[in-house]
């Protein structure tokens, strides 16, 4: 990308040299490609691109008439100022837009996606499931006795627990699995391509990871998890699958917590509770 971008600036530099060098009306055109830098590169990349642009402008004007450039560099200086300004403004705008979009879909405490992002992705998966015919697993997780953590240790510790638990659970997921915090101490995981058996295996890995570690500065915490999912070849109905997984989570809570229950175990578990 950077190589292609430099080639475009060299082309503009050639146009500057061919149309008068220091007096070329094309000098200001060098600022146009700078707008695209912040969309693809980091701050260092933007700075590098601006420096390359300035160097090309100076070379293109000096190659035509170095004396004229020295005697009256005002056009080149103004064009250079435009390049720097465009680079600075486009970077600020891009970062502001990125931050706004991130805040709209990310939970600031855990770094997980939020409920709004979950609703959007669930709709996409419902539409895609009719085309790809792949199963989709869903896990609902809830931190056990989280209210006691806040009551006994304070909300700051509770926030630390949430952050640590979220981090440890994300580490157990595949790169394309999606993790969401949907409120309080409850989390949802979407596992595209995962059967109910595989989703239950992942849920058990999540449970064991939390149970085997300390979080929030030394607290031992457990989680309960409910697992649901759609089968290969059937349409993914998010509300139905979530309701089944949530009922399985309720059964896990009722059977002593710190365990995994599947949606196909839900009715049996509820009967035991009754």
For the annotated catalytic residues, the residue numbers are 185
Residues 81 and 87: their CA atoms lie apart, in Å, by 10
DSSP class of residue 231 equals: P
DSSP class per residue in 13-42: HHHHHHTTGGG-TTGGGGGTGGGGHHHHS-
For the chain, what is the radius of gyration of the CA atoms? 28
d(CA 49, CA 30): 11
User: What secondary structure letter does DSSP report for 72?
Assistant: -
Helix (H, G, I), strand (E, B) or coil at 263: helix
| The dihedral formed by the CA atoms of 112, 114, 117 and 122, expressed in degrees to the nearest 10 | 90
Find the DSSP H helices in 106-227.
Answer: 115-132, 146-153, 155-171, 196-211
Q: How far is Cα 179 from Cα 272, in angstroms, rounded to an integer?
A: 31
State the Cα–Cα distance between residues 150 and 170, nearest whole angstrom: 23
């Amino acid at each position: 990308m950077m190589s292609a971008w430099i080639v475009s600036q060299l082309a503009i530099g050639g146009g500057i040299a061919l149309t008068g060098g220091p007096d070329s009306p094309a000098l200001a055109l060098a600022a146009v490609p700078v707008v695209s830098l912040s969309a693809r590169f980091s701050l260092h990349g933007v700075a590098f691109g601006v420096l390359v642009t300035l160097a090309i402008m100076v070379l293109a004007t000096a190659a035509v008439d170095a004396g004229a450039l020295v005697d009256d560099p005002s056009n080149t200086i103004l064009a250079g100022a435009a390049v720097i300004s465009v680079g600075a403004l486009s970077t600020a705008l891009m970062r502001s837009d990125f931050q706004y979009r991130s805040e709209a879909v990310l939970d600031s405490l855990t770094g997980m996606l939020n409920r709004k992002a979950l609703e959007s992705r669930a709709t996409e998966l419902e539409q895609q499931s009719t085309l790809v015919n792949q199963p989709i697993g869903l896990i609902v997780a809830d931190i056990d006795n989280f209210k006691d953590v806040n009551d006994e240790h304070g909300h700051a510790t509770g926030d630390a627990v949430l952050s640590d638990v979220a981090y440890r659970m994300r580490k157990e997921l595949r790169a394309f699995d999606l993790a969401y915090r949907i409120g309080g101490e409850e989390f949802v995981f979407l596992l595209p391509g995962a059967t109910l058996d595989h989703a239950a295996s992942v849920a058990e890995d999540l449970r064991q990871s939390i149970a085997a570690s300390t979080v929030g500065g030394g607290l031992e915490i457990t989680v309960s998890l409910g697992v649901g999912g759609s089968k290969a070849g059937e349409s993914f109905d998010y509300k139905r699958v979530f309701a089944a997984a949530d009922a399985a989570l309720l059964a896990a809570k009722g059977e002593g917590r710190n365990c995994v229950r599947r949606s196909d175990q839900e009715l049996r578990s509820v009967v035991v509770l009754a």
